Amino acid sequence: MPRALCQQAKEIISSLIIYFVYKRWPLTAVRQRAAAAANVSIWAVSKISSSAKSLQVFPSCSKCRNKLKPIVDIDEASEAAIRNVIYQMYYHRERIICSSLLCKLKERDLGF
């Protein structure tokens, strides 16, 4: 499975292409040398060079995005009660999904 190139890798490959063109090498040799130097396919290098010519900003890869965890202020007693409800559902072999968990928490009057 081919690996996705992040923004920094694309910028380095673009810099390699610019350097090799500055040395006045033929375009096919430039792509082959850049592909060999970066250990990627010639197709990836040609795609990066075409996007660099159109002055596109390289998007960052989707793996780099960090998802922030939601902040929930729950006291320790409520947290223990939620944990016990989940454990009881697991013990009784019930499906633990948000809607069923919310129903169980409303039955116990935990303020949900």
Helix axes 76-91, 98-107, angle to 10 degrees: 120
30 class by beta-carbon count within 10 Å (0-12 exposed, 13-18 middle, 19+ buried) = buried
pLDDT values of the chain reduced to their tens digit, one per residue, 112 residues: 456 677 777 777 777 777 777 777 776 777 788 888 878 888 888 777 777 766 666 665 565 566 777 777 888 888 898 899 999 999 999 998 989 988 988 888 877 6
pTM of the model: 0.43
